[in-house]
Every structure is written in structure tokens, then in C-alpha cells.
Amino acid sequence: MKETVETNRDWHAFWASVGQRTAREDLFQQVERTSRGKPVPPDQIDVLVRDVAGALDLGRDDLLLDLCCGNGLITFRLSRLCRTVVGADYSPDLIEIARERHARPNTVYLHRAADALRPSDLPMGLPTKVCVNSGLQYFTVAMAESLLRSLRLLQDELTIYLTDVPDSGKLGVYYSGQQRWEEFERRRAAGTEAIGSWWDRDHLHSLFTAAGYSCTMMDPASDRSMAHYRFDVLGRFPA
């Protein structure tokens, strides 16, 4: 399939109820860092941090904005590489856990939707770089367009890196076999799909371009656990 398949699920409700679905100590389960229902190996987080730091060329002078930060599992590790990190998420439960479990002196956690941030929310300074880790799957096309517009209000020059975007060109590979495909269609019709939006690379590139960004699609490193059906995006504003 070579078109963007938008999510039908109410992800706001899903993430708002995370505290009811998972134990407070299950940090990987809380943010869906799982494979076949089991937490991914901890070194997968380190691999992702490596790739984010490399793609954004993170340094000690950077103020990084980590959108859809969840419980801070990745934010905490990125904070070791930057002057300041601001994590933002619309789940109150996850932000509470992030502040409790992943606090650092140079880290701030905000209860905000990714596309609703304004400069007034960032008294510590405006971001030089932005990452969205495994977050775009929870966006519709309209939400992604809103995100790209709102980020332009934060800074005149900005680099954004989105990781682990589900690739619509590999949807049939991921849901291979009649039984798995029928499950996908059933759950999608019911608004309970497991992953969310599957993005067509050309379509996503066009959204970035229309918003004034340059855009490069990147295949994840082979040692990333989801590399076989996802891709990364590096965008810069202005183009």
C-alpha cells in the first residue's frame, strides 16, 4: 500500500487512561516500548538516543524540545547531551511519572499537546532542535500540519527529527497473511488499531515542503528493533 492510512483511534483517550492500564513501575509498557507485548531490551533505548543525537548533532549548547515525551524514558537520557531539555506530552499521567522518575536539573516537563506549544510556555528559552520519538503514528494529517505550523512560531530556524514513523509502503509486509490483515481491518474499523497512522513517504514529504521545511527521509539503522517497517524524517526550517 502506497498511501497514508490515517488513524481512526481516539489516542487522547488512550493515553489519558495510561495510569489505569499499567502499573506505575512498568515504564516501558506505559509508553508502548514493547514488541509482541514484551518490553524491548533496554539497549534499544540507548540505540535510539544514539540516532537522535547523531541526526540532530546535539551539543552542550542546545535546548532540545522532546515532543510526545511520554514518561521521560528517552528524555532523561537525551538530557545528558544538552544544555536543557523540555519534554512535552498531553498525558497528565505520563508527565507526572516523568517528573517523578526521570527528573534532572536541566529537564522540564510540560503537560501540553505537541501542536499547542507557544513561546510563552518556554520561559527557559526557545528550542534549537526538536525530536518526536515514535509519536507521529498518533497524529492525523491535519494534526501533523498543525504541528509543523506551530513549531515555526517557536523559532526562526529549527531542525526537527521524527523517529519510527510507520511506513504505509510496508503495511502489507507487517500485517502479512490473511489472518493478520483481517485483524488489522477489524481493529481499524472498530477504532482500536494497535499502531495508528501509517505514513506514505511522498505524502509526508509534501506536508513538510508545504509548511516551508526541507525534508529528508531516512531508513533507521539495522540495529533498531522497528527498522523493518518504519522510517525517520529529518526536517529543517526554513528550507
The domain that contains 116 carries what CATH number?
3.40.50.150
Please say whether the beta carbons of 175 and 237 come within 8 A.
no
**pLDDT band, very low/low/confident/very high, at 114 (cuts 50, 70, 90):** very high
In a domain, residue 217? The reply is: yes
Q: Which residues pair with 64 in a beta bridge?
A: 85, 129
State the average pLDDT for the chain: 94
More confident of the two residues 22 and 166: 166
Cα(113)–Cα(55) distance, integer angstroms: 24
pLDDT value at 96 more than 90? yes
Distance in angstroms (rounded) separating the CA atoms of residues 168 and 147: 20
21, pLDDT greater than 90: no
5 in a domain, yes or no? no
Query: Which pLDDT band holds residue 25 (cuts at 50, 70, 90)?
Result: confident
Name the percent of the chain lying above pLDDT 70. 99
Residue 200 pLDDT > 90: yes
**In this predicted model, which residue has the larger pLDDT, 124 or 192?**
192
13 Cβ partners below 8 Å, 6+ apart? none
Place of cell 531542525: 159
Contact 9, 192 (CB under 8 A): yes
- Residue 77: φ, ψ to 5°: -75, -35
Query: At a CB cut-off of 8 Å and minimum separation 6, what does 238 contact?
Result: 157, 212, 213
Residue 141 lies in a domain: yes
What global pTM score does this model have?
Answer: 0.96
Domain that holds residue 207: 11-237
Question: Do residues 79 and 98 make contact, with C-beta atoms less than 8 angstroms apart?
Answer: no
Number of domain units in the chain: 1
